[in-house]
Structures are given as C-alpha cells and as structure tokens.
Structure 1
Amino acid sequence: MKYLRSVRGRMLGIAFIPGGALVAVALVIAILLIHQAVRTRDTAVETAAAADRTARAVVALQAERSAAMAVPEQRSAAYATYTQRIESAIAGLRDYARHAPDAESACQQTTAVELLSVAEGMDRSDSLALAGLDNVTRGSFTSAVASYRTELARVVPQLTESGRMAYDSLTRSAEWSRLAATENAFTAAEPLPVPEPTWRSSSYAVSAQLGLLYTQQSQYAVQLTLDDGRRTLAGALAAGTALLLFAGLLMVVVRRLVARVPVPVVPIMVPTVHAAIPRPRHARSRRPGLPDPWPLKAVFDDLRRR
C-alpha cells in the first residue's frame, strides 16, 4: 500500500508541473497587462495636464503679444518673439501626442494640437491687423490667414462627428462671414466692409469657437486614452482569472485521473512459515546419532608418534 501511494504521489507531482507552469504564466501575463494599463492611465493624465498647461500658456502669451505690439517701435520684434514662444509650446504638446500608447489616441491628440495651432494662427493674424498693417506686416498677415484657413480645412475630416458639426456651424455663422470679409479686405488693402466694433466682436466669437473646438477634441483624445487603459486593465484581470481557473480545474482533473489509474505493484518475496505437522503420540522421535569417533582417534595417534 505504501509503495502504491508513493507511485501515485510521484505521478501526481509530475502531472502538477504543467498546472504550476500555467499558474506562473497567468501571473506574469496579468502583472504585465496591469503594468501596461497603469502606464496608459498615467500617460493620459499627464497628456491632459500638459494640454491644459499649454493652452493656458498660449492664451497668456497671445495676450502679452497683443499688448507688446501696441507699441509701434517694438511691433515687429514683439511679434517674432512671442510667436516663436507660442510655437515652441505647441511643439512640446505635439511631442506628447507622438508618445500616445496607441495609434488612435496619437491621431486624435495630434488633431487636437493642430486645432490649437489653427487657433494660434487666427489670433496671430488678428494681432497683426489690430496693431495696424503696413507694407511689411501685410505679407505676414496674408500668410497667417491663408495658413490657418488651410490647416483648419485639412483637419476637419479627422474630427469626430460632433466636431464636424461644430465646424459646420462655425463656418456658416454670421461671425465667420464677417471675419472672412474683413480679413480679405485687409489682405487687399481695402476699407473694412463692417464697422470695427462688429469686426472685433466677430473676431472674438470665432476665436472662442476655435478654442472650444480644441478643448472638445483634446478631451476626447484624453478620454480615448483613459478608456484604452481601462480596457487593458479589464482584459488583464479577465485573462489572469481565466488562466488561474483553468489551471485549478486542470489540477483537479489530473488528481482524479491519477487516482483512477491502476499502478502495477511489484510483488515482494516474503518468507512463509509453514505450520508444524502434528505427530502421533505413539511415534517416537529418532535420537540423534553419535558422531563418528575416528577423527579423535586420528588426533591421539598423531600425538603418540611425536
């Protein structure tokens, strides 16, 4: 019985090796996926914080640029300096978009950065027009207007459905039409088609709509990254749990199968004690005979000869 238990125990131990390996693999996969999910969540939070910081910095630099360009003597230098600083801030946010955890999140975050660049282009042209155009700055104004219009039209197909609806609403609004007419008049060095307060009101409304469009796109990109992290975490927990359950079920099945397998037992030779055959009472046992005396006689003869 001990030998049988020993053999079955060895078989069971050998059979548990794949189960133990499966448990180890499940734990490793779960740990890796959980680590990836946590990293994705941290990336999304960091990107959201960077987008908020960059947007605030851009708005502050735009206000400083407009104030600095009010002085005619330092208009060109202020425009170049602040524009470079704003472009550097937007380029830093673009680097965050490149390091997104997946291609879809990277695409949506890049689209948000492009919208911020569009809003900056519109504000850049507005600052030039507000400061006053001359033969030198009119070319920069025309280039800025053409750039942000072209960039906005290029980004539109990449927007979400709600973003495209917001863009259509913006381009069909009266504010957009008044601003476009004013910009065309500035480019052609013609009188303004609308009063200056109307132009300023339209410019402010369009700028606010572009900023809102950027904010919505940025929030969508961040939420997309967070959802991806949650899906990764849920998949990690589900995969780890499934593998652990499968390993446990495998061990139970193997244990039952090993218990049913007949194990050949090698017979062990054990000496058998036969029962004594009773003799009849009248049978007398033979007395042992005396040993043959000739060996002793030979010894005594040898001693006499000496």
Structure 2
Amino acid sequence: MKYLRSVRGRMLGIAFIPGGALVVVAAVIAVFLVHQAVRTRDLALETAAAADRTARAVVALQAQRSAAMAVPDRQSAAYANFTQRIDTAIAGLRDYARRAPNAESAYQQTIAVELLSVAEGMDRSDSLALTGLDSVTRRSYISAVAAYRAELARVAPQLTESGRTAYESLTRSADWSRLAAAEDAITAAEPLPVAESTWRSAAYTVSGELGRLYAQQSQYAVQLTLDDGRRTLGGALAAGSALLLSALLLLVVVRRLVARVPVPVVPIMVPTVHAAIPRPRHARSRRPHLPDPWPLKAVLDDLRRR
C-alpha cells in the first residue's frame, strides 16, 4: 500500500489554524456583546416596571395615610407608619437606578427618583396640614415643606430641557403661588390668605404636576437605557459580523495563496510484500541459475543430422 503526503496540503492545514482561531474568537466576542446588549435591554424593562410599581404603591400608600390620619387618635402613628413604608419603596427604586448599565442612565433615573421624593414630600406636608397641627406635628410640617421645596430647587437645574420648561411653568403658575402662600401661613400659624377651597384646588393641581414631572423624567431615563441597549446590540452584531467575515476572508486568501505555491507532491514509498519466485527443480544451490539459451531438444536434433 502506498501513502502520499502533500506538502501543499500540510501548508494549507497549518495556515488554517490561525484562521480557525480567529473565527472562534470572533464568535465568542459576538456572543458576549449580544449577551450584554440583551442584559441592558432587560435591565431597562425591569427598571421601567419597578418605577411603575413604585409609583402606584406610593400613590396607594398616600391615600391610605390620608384615610388613617383622619382618625384623631391615630394621626401620629399613621403618619409615621405610612411615611416609613413610602420611604422604603422609594429607596428600593433608588437601588434600581444605581444598577443602570451606564452612568448617564443611572444619573437620569436618580433624578426621576428625586422627583418622586419631592412629590411625596409635598403630599406628606399636605396630609399633616389637613389633619390640623399641634406643637409636635407643626415641626414635622415645617420640616416637610422646607425639604420638598429645597429638593425641587436642587433637582430642577439637572432636568432635561422639557423638564425645566415644565418646572418653570409650574413654579410661575397661580396654583403654585396660592399653595406657597397657604403653606407659609400654616407654618407661621396665621390664617389662610386664600379660601380653603382655593388652597385645596391649588394643592391638588400642584401634586398632579409634580407627578407628571416625575413620570416624564422616569420615561426619559428608561428610554435612554433602551436606546443604549439597542446601540449595544447593533454594535455587537456589526462587530461580530465583521470579525467573522474577516476570518473567512483570511481563510479564502490563504487557501488561494497556498494553491499557487509550486510545491511538488512528494510521495512516501512504503515497501510492499511480494510473493516469492519459485526456483527450478533442478537447482542444486540456493542461488538460481540462468536458464539455458538453447533447448535440449534442439541440440539432439542437430547431432542426429550430422
């Protein structure tokens, strides 16, 4: 049996090793980038769902707090209980903001959480004012009003352009002025400068505007994260495709270059086993003799003719 080994084939096989390694690396990088993009998208959707759940929970707890504080003997306990539960819900949403895939998304989501905290501060001060203030609750009311005003003023410059426009429109509105005047009068233990119905209408309007400001900022932060995920996914697919195409192109070029190399095919001869040649019967030695050039019969006939 004969086995032939081609030098050109060996060169082609050696050249395919780095090309195959490049294909494997490209596939791994593409899978990793796609995984990161999918994870970013899932995190954005999870954050959006958490923001919606938290906002609904805060609104429900605020309603329960107002109802519980209507009972005179339970005002302090109800205020402390529901306020703590609302703060816990907002803190959980703040943790979601910290896990954002990039710094910009985390920043915008943190601003949204601060706006939700502002809306809660305004509502808790309003709940205290509705139940009547004494020496103890007045201090809580003053603290709540000062806190939500200062926090809103601090967050406002960090809003988007549309958010700043909405903030300026709110703070310049007549409802904001009426609510601020009522809060200042309550803080100083003075009579309301406006009718109670006007104060309640202004408080309701301002609370709704703060809620819409939070929703707008939260949607912007979530959309920013989703856009980042789509960009990451697009970049992952493009990079992975480019790497795979480069690796395949390299393999094709190497194959053609090796095919042009004038290297002959070198056979490797493997000895084969042949059948033994039978020796003549008249041989007396181990070395076979050459056959006679003339047959014996021809010699005898020649002698007879003579």
Band the TM-score falls in, shorter-chain normalisation = 0.7 to 0.9
* Aligned residue in 1 for 2:186: 186
Q: Which runs of 5+ in 2 are unaligned?
A: 270-291, 294-306
Higher relative contact order (CA 8 A, sep 6+): 2
Query: 1:19 offset after TM fit, Å?
Result: 1.1
Is 1:247 the counterpart of 2:247? The answer is yes
Deviations 1:186-207 (A, max 9, x none): 1111111110000000000000
Q: Which amino acid aligns with 1:148?
A: Y
Q: Which amino acid aligns with 1:145?
A: V
Q: Which amino acid aligns with 2:225?
A: T
Deviations 1:5-55 (A, max 9, x none): 711111111111111111101110111111111111111111111111110
Deviations 1:115-163 (A, max 9, x none): 0000000000000011111111111101000000111111112211111
Query: 1:232 offset after TM fit, Å?
Result: 1.0
Deviations 1:62-89 (A, max 9, x none): 0111111111111111111110010011
Following the alignment from structure 2 to structure 1, what is the Cα–Cα distance between the partners of residues 4 and 167?
81
Q: 2:6 touches 2:265 (CA, 8 Å); kept in 1? A: no
Judged with a 3 Å threshold, the aligned counterparts in structure 2 of structure 1 residues 144 and 157 are, in CA distance, closer, same or farther, namely same
Query: 1:215 offset after TM fit, Å?
Result: 0.4
Query: 1:4 offset after TM fit, Å?
Result: 9.6
* Aligned residue in 2 for 1:291: none
Query: Matched residue of 1:100: which SS?
Result: coil
* Aligned residue in 2 for 1:165: 165
Judged with a 3 Å threshold, the aligned counterparts in structure 2 of structure 1 residues 5 and 131 are, in CA distance, closer, same or farther, namely same
Q: 1:40 touches 1:228 (CA, 8 Å); kept in 2? A: yes
Following the alignment from structure 2 to structure 1, what is the Cα–Cα distance between the partners of residues 175 and 192?
15
* Aligned residue in 2 for 1:7: 7
Following the alignment from structure 2 to structure 1, what is the Cα–Cα distance between the partners of residues 7 and 266?
11
Following the alignment from structure 1 to structure 2, what is the Cα–Cα distance between the partners of residues 131 and 67?
10
Is 1:218 the counterpart of 2:228? The answer is no
Following the alignment from structure 2 to structure 1, what is the Cα–Cα distance between the partners of residues 82 and 267?
97
Q: Which amino acid aligns with 2:244?
A: L
Following the alignment from structure 2 to structure 1, what is the Cα–Cα distance between the partners of residues 120 and 111?
14
Count of equivalent residues: 270
Q: Which amino acid aligns with 1:8?
A: R
Q: Which amino acid aligns with 1:50?
A: A
Query: 1:261 offset after TM fit, Å?
Result: 2.1
* Aligned residue in 2 for 1:277: none
* Aligned residue in 2 for 1:263: 263
Query: 1:263 offset after TM fit, Å?
Result: 2.4
> What RMSD, in angstroms, separates the aligned Cα atoms of the two structures?
2.0
Q: 2:5 touches 2:268 (CA, 8 Å); kept in 1? A: no
Pairs within 5 Å for 1:26-175: 26-175=26-175
Deviations 1:228-270 (A, max 9, x none): 111111111101110111111111111111122232677999x
Query: Matched residue of 1:136: which SS?
Result: helix
Query: 1:222 offset after TM fit, Å?
Result: 0.8
Q: Which amino acid aligns with 2:79?
A: Y
Q: Which amino acid aligns with 2:232?
A: T
Following the alignment from structure 1 to structure 2, what is the Cα–Cα distance between the partners of residues 11 and 102?
47
Judged with a 3 Å threshold, the aligned counterparts in structure 2 of structure 1 residues 137 and 6 are, in CA distance, closer, same or farther, namely same
Following the alignment from structure 2 to structure 1, what is the Cα–Cα distance between the partners of residues 236 and 9?
34
Following the alignment from structure 2 to structure 1, what is the Cα–Cα distance between the partners of residues 14 and 266?
21
Q: Which amino acid aligns with 2:223?
A: Q
Q: 1:34 touches 1:236 (CA, 8 Å); kept in 2? A: yes
Query: Matched residue of 1:256: which SS?
Result: helix
Moved segments of 4+, more than 4 Å: 2-5, 264-269
Q: 1:3 touches 1:265 (CA, 8 Å); kept in 2? A: no
Following the alignment from structure 2 to structure 1, what is the Cα–Cα distance between the partners of residues 164 and 268?
88
Q: 1:69 touches 1:78 (CA, 8 Å); kept in 2? A: yes
Q: Which amino acid aligns with 2:150?
A: T
Judged with a 3 Å threshold, the aligned counterparts in structure 2 of structure 1 residues 265 and 3 are, in CA distance, closer, same or farther, namely farther
* Aligned residue in 2 for 1:199: 199
Q: Which amino acid aligns with 2:161?
A: E
Judged with a 3 Å threshold, the aligned counterparts in structure 2 of structure 1 residues 221 and 268 are, in CA distance, closer, same or farther, namely closer
Q: 1:4 touches 1:263 (CA, 8 Å); kept in 2? A: no
